[in-house]
Amino acid sequence: MTVSDVPDEPLDDAGPYDYDLVVLGSGPGGQKAAIAAAKLGRKVAIIERRHMMGGVSVNTGTIPSKTLREAVMYLTGMAQREVYGASYRVKSDITMDDLFARTHHVIGREIEVIRAQLLRNHVDVLNGTGSFVDAHTLAVTEGGSAHPRTITGRFVVIATGSTPHRPDTVQFDERRVLDSDGVLALENVPTSIVVVGAGIIGIEYASMFAALGSRVTVVDKRPAMLEMCDPEVAESLKFHLRDLSVSFRFGEEVAGVDSNTHGTVTRLVSGKRIAADAVMYSAGRQGQTDALDLEKAGLTADSRGRITVDAQYRTAVAHIFAVGDVIGFPALAATSMDQGRLAAYHAFGEPARELQSVQPIGIYTIPEISYCGRTEEELTTSAVPYEVGIARYRELARGQIVGDSYGMLKLLVHTETRELLGVHIFGTLATDLVHIGQAIMACGGTVDYLVDTVLNYPTLSEAYKVAALDATNKIRQVARFSE
């Protein structure tokens, strides 16, 4: 069968293939595609390198970075200092071993859970690197074997994720000049570190090192950090990071990095030089497609290794789907999972609804940030009339109890329809709290729902009520003064 013979319509016959679905990669996208297809009663195989079960998400990305953060928060006593004093610490001399102990434990448990789920759903796990032999045949090579195993699949989902992008101008030495994968192999907490790239991953790590007491310098050629965030929220984080001695070099480009046994010197195009124990590059991500021999399946990737798909995650070859980081934005574990599940449904003709358009962004800095919906800038540009309602954690009983005096929640409310248009949160539990606003927005709810609803007390969720009252009081005042 050639590619052009593959019908667009899903077929029910198993055909002459070994599997109904072959999935490349066991990250969040691949796992969920495999399990969704298995739940539909299909025969599924997942190809993954032996040491990478769970993907980047479990091994080098989401899970290790979030577990490290938790360990940093706990051992430095960072979140408790307002209550017990500025010198409060659980451990004074924190080592990378202390931090990694928790990380290895969590990674191990996550891998066990994923393996058990695949096993329970009768998904065959094939260890090795997968590559296309033709549009329905995949070779699985392990340990450089000259005789790879080949398997055929009626449908294929490519979920091979991404790797850190490494600029050609920088020599990574895996000791002092690192990317976000390399950080996980650091032997000591650096006394000083330069973080190049003020995107989400860069700033998350910058805030962790700052909390550990490293002297951090953030360099980015853009004029500000986290430009997608509400400026007030980004400014609050910047203030916090400055307080932990983080310096920022925005609007500056790196010309090169020199490294020797003493340390590193980062040279900026402007002529400045920054000395530090280590440099961490966070310069975006590259789709992991090099090993796939895509052309044998009739596919290509762009210069950043990404594959183009349609709204159903179908590539240019009708029976091959792609999901997760390999298709680019938003490149989150959160979205990759749903993309995987939906790709499997579309392949097998299972009715599927599109994802809700209101999607949250979680930024696990210390303190954390989360938001969903529109920003003030977007609303102003599109001339949507809105009011702002603000709640400060220090005015919430729970804020005092947990020792968070800096947190805040901001609601953006349409002044005429009273719909919630955006939620922006900075502070403890922001990444969880955002889902309340998200649910109201997705259901087309108004600010009145929050005004009329009783919430548990004392909680941080109460911030919604306070912000809702703030917004509605302002709207009422404008109406009164306009009479």
> Which single residue is written with the structure tokens 């900026």?
268
From candidates 110, 252, 277, 325, binder to ligand FAD by CB under 6 A: 325
Comparing CB distances to ligand FAD, the nearer of 294 and 402 is: 294
Comparing CB distances to ligand FAD, the nearer of 280 and 412 is: 280
The stretch near ligand FAD (CB under 6 A) out of 298-306, 321-329, 383-391, 442-450 is: 321-329
Q: Please give the structure tokens belonging to residue 49.
A: 């390198």
Residue 291 sits at φ, ψ, to 5 deg, of -85, 0
Residue 413 sits at φ, ψ, to 5 deg, of -125, 135
Is residue 185 within the footprint of ligand FAD (CB under 6 A)?
A: no
From candidates 76, 103, 129, 207, binder to ligand FAD by CB under 6 A: 129
Give the CB-nearest residue to ligand FAD.
Answer: 161
Comparing CB distances to ligand FAD, the nearer of 434 and 450 is: 434
Min separation Cβ 322 and ligand FAD, Å? 9
Contacts of 247 (CB under 8 A, 6+ apart): 216, 217, 218
From candidates 35, 156, 193, 201, binder to ligand FAD by CB under 6 A: 201
Is residue 324 within the footprint of ligand FAD (CB under 6 A)?
A: yes
- Contact between 191 and 214 (Cβ < 8 Å): yes
Identify which of 298, 310, 300, 301 has the alpha carbon closest to the alpha carbon of residue 342.
310
Is residue 49 within the footprint of ligand FAD (CB under 6 A)?
A: yes
The CB-based long-range contact list for 115-120 (8 Å cut-off, 24+ gap) reads 115/53, 117/31, 117/35, 118/26, 118/31, 118/34, 118/35, 118/46
Min separation Cβ 282 and ligand FAD, Å? 8
- Contact between 436 and 429 (Cβ < 8 Å): no
Is residue 365 within the footprint of ligand FAD (CB under 6 A)?
A: no
Is residue 61 within the footprint of ligand FAD (CB under 6 A)?
A: yes
Comparing CB distances to ligand FAD, the nearer of 110 and 325 is: 325
CA 423, 474, 391 angle in degrees (round to 5)? 40
Q: Assign 3-class secondary structure to 323-342.
A: CHHHHCCCCCHHHHHHHHHH
The stretch near ligand FAD (CB under 6 A) out of 49-57, 394-402, 417-425, 447-455 is: 49-57
Comparing CB distances to ligand FAD, the nearer of 20 and 179 is: 179
Binding site for ligand FAD (CB under 6 A): 24-30, 47-49, 52, 55-57, 61-62, 65-66, 129-130, 159-162, 180, 201, 288, 291-292, 324-326, 331-334, 336, 362, 364
